Amino acid sequence: MEPSHASRRDFLKTTAVGAAAATATSAVFSNPAPARALDANERIRIGFIGPGGRGFGAHVTTLTKLKKDGANIDLVAVCDVYKNHVDRAATYIEKEAGGSCKKYEDYNDLLADKNIDAVCIGTPDHWHARQTIDAMKAGKHVYCEKPMTHTIPEAMDVVSTWKSTGKVMQVGVQSTSLKIWDKCRDLIQEGKLGKLLSFQTEFFRNSEVGQWRYYKLDKEMTPQTINWKRFLGTAEGLAPDMPFDRAIYAQWRCYWPFGAGMYTDLFVHRTTAMLKATGLRYPGRVVGAGGIFLEYDGRDVPDVATVVADYNEGAQAIITASMSCEETPITQLIRGHFGSFVFGNGEGFTGFDFIPERPQVTRDSKLKKERIEVGGGGDTTYDHFKNFIDSVRANKPDMVNNPPDLGAAAIVTVNLGARSYREGKAFFFDAKTGKESLADTSWADMWEKMSKERSKPRQVAGWKGGDYGSLLKPPEWMKLAGPWTNGKPPEDQTAAAGG
């Protein structure tokens, strides 16, 4: 049975079972130890859930390097449904980081270990929320690989749990540890660009074998070495039951029950960074488009896609990519009425260019193109994990570079984009309720009403720029605009009224 055609009825049944299981599991972890800042000499003991692909190649290896560089941490446990991944990670840790490393198949057993202070989660997307929430309720700090969750309700639950437990949580979008985003946001709030209008970002790449098919399948991947039911999460209601398949296990990003292709593997990278840079968060309206135009290899997810998100602050995002063309991407930038910040491509940024609009618009001939250097831009994965460790030691949840509330905002944008593509619908999102709804004419009606009322533009949070770059200067002839009344032009009516 293809994963995208699994029985909805069976899945709903397992979802109900999963809800009951979630309640039972949460009860086990209902009394975590009180949070406190750690002394400089206290060791932070870290466990790994899902040390397979990035969970090993980034999480395990980077924290091993941090320890070798002097971080007061111990890597003490690993957990995975694939026995080979458990053995590989434990062997590496004991050889490279030192000390003994416990092995687990069930992450609940790892979380029950009171000698573990923090966990790093590198499992497939559909497990992220469940394991993150259970970990925080168990009193553990959490580093969770992006995307933070698989669904929007899960994202809201993670944010709620993060706030109620007071634990440190870092979402694994390593580019948010670049210094430039804070600088961009400060300049935008000060009015450097004038009214913020839009941003565009990309993640173009290609492959002759098809995206995510480069994750190798191995004959050692069998039902005897992989706990298939545990991988699926059928008992927890996370995915429908289906026959064992090496491609689904190793290349799960190609299938909707487990991921969302480029939307959550790639778009979430760029979207999170741009939200951090602009100060925008939850979108008001989202629509997505695309299709499988080349990679006809049994996958579910598209190889060309675009998400357009509109924000209540009066700004728009364009997030686009092709998984078949890498040499001709669009340029990443943020646009304002009086200028733009231009970044280029990728994410190895140490600075950006300010490109002003022409002086006939800005009425300021002193505005010139300039390069704004900020620095940084080295090993962002290393910097991101170091930021997490420093935040845990200080016990300051707001010190991380990618907190759950930012992670949730990115999830809403990319998730609704994927759903729009699949369902053929446009969506609204209400940040107050955390709920989405089908879009209607009210979005356009709202902006038209503001125009008719000659309203001032809305601004991003933290705006300090006053009216700079936010107000038009109507030409004199616009005084002639307006309806004629009793055969008289509007200028006569204005004069008669003493205007």
pLDDT at 492: 82
| 421-460 per-position pLDDT tens digit | 999 999 999 999 999 999 999 999 999 999 999 999 999 9
pLDDT at 493: 75
Lowest mean pLDDT among 9-18, 83-92, 206-215, 264-273: 9-18
Residue type, 344: G
In a domain, 58, yes or no: yes
Q: How many whole angstroms separate alpha carbon 405 and alpha carbon 280?
A: 12
Q: How many whole angstroms separate alpha carbon 176 and alpha carbon 384?
A: 8
DSSP state of 457: P
pLDDT at 424: 98
In a domain, 23, yes or no: yes
List 152's β-bridge partners, or say none: none
In a domain, 193, yes or no: no
Q: How many whole angstroms separate alpha carbon 152 and alpha carbon 150?
A: 7
Confidence tier at 29 by pLDDT (50, 70, 90): very low
Average pLDDT rounded to a whole number, residues 482-493: 88
**287 backbone dihedrals φ, ψ, rounded to 5°:** -140, 145
pLDDT at 499: 61
Is residue 323 within 8 A of residue 293, CB to CB? The reply is no
Distance from chain centroid for Cα 482: 46
The count of other CB atoms within 10 Å of the CB of residue 124 is 25
What sign has the CA pseudo-torsion 224, 229, 233, 238? positive
Burial annotation 461-486 (CB, 10 A radius, 16+ → b, else e): eebebeebbbeeeeeeeeeeeeeeee
For residue 191, pLDDT beyond 70: yes
In a domain, 137, yes or no: yes
In a domain, 308, yes or no: no
For residue 3, pLDDT beyond 60: no
DSSP state of 234: T
Average pLDDT rounded to a whole number, residues 266-278: 97
| Bridging pattern class, strands 332-336 and 339-344 | antiparallel
Q: How many whole angstroms separate alpha carbon 314 and alpha carbon 310?
A: 7
Estimate the crossing angle of helix 180-190 against helix 268-278, to 10 degrees: 40
In a domain, 106, yes or no: yes
DSSP state of 498: T
Q: How many whole angstroms separate alpha carbon 25 and alpha carbon 106?
A: 12
Distance from chain centroid for Cα 83: 30
In a domain, 99, yes or no: yes
Nearest to 323 by CA among 297, 342, 349: 297
User: What is the percentage of the chain residues whose pLDDT exceeds 70?
Assistant: 92
What sign has the CA pseudo-torsion 248, 252, 255, 256? positive
For residue 399, pLDDT beyond 50: yes
Distance from chain centroid for Cα 345: 18
Is residue 152 within 8 A of residue 417, CB to CB? The reply is no
For residue 180, pLDDT beyond 50: yes
Place of tokens 């579910």: 300
**Tokens describing residue 12:** 């709903």
Nearest to 460 by CA among 256, 311, 320: 311
- Number of domains forming the structure of the chain: 1
Nearest to 3 by CA among 251, 290, 297, 243: 243
Helix (H) or strand (E) holding 248: helix 246-250
**216 backbone dihedrals φ, ψ, rounded to 5°:** -70, 145
Estimate the crossing angle of helix 125-137 against helix 152-165, to 10 degrees: 20
Q: Name the 3-class secondary structure at 231.
A: helix
The count of other CB atoms within 10 Å of the CB of residue 296 is 9
- Residue-number span of the structural domain to which 58 is assigned: 3-177+380-402
| Bridging pattern class, strands 118-121 and 44-49 | parallel
In a domain, 151, yes or no: yes
Residues sharing a CB contact under 8 Å with residue 161, sequence separation 6 or more, in sequence order: 132, 133, 136, 137
Query: The domain that contains 23 carries what CATH number?
Result: 3.40.50.720
pLDDT at 187: 98
**Tokens describing residue 177:** 């540890």
List 46's β-bridge partners, or say none: 75, 118
| Strand arrangement of the beta sheet that strand 44-49 belongs to | 102-104, 73-79, 44-49, 118-121, 141-145, 169-172
Q: How many whole angstroms separate alpha carbon 55 and alpha carbon 473?
A: 55
pLDDT at 135: 98
Residues sharing a CB contact under 8 Å with residue 344, sequence separation 6 or more, in sequence order: 331, 332
Q: How many whole angstroms separate alpha carbon 440 and alpha carbon 242?
A: 37
Widest Cα–Cα separation across the chain: 92
| 62-117 per-position pLDDT tens digit | 999 999 999 999 999 999 999 999 999 999 999 999 999 999 999 999 999 999 99
Look up the pTM and report it: 0.91
Average pLDDT rounded to a whole number, residues 267-291: 98
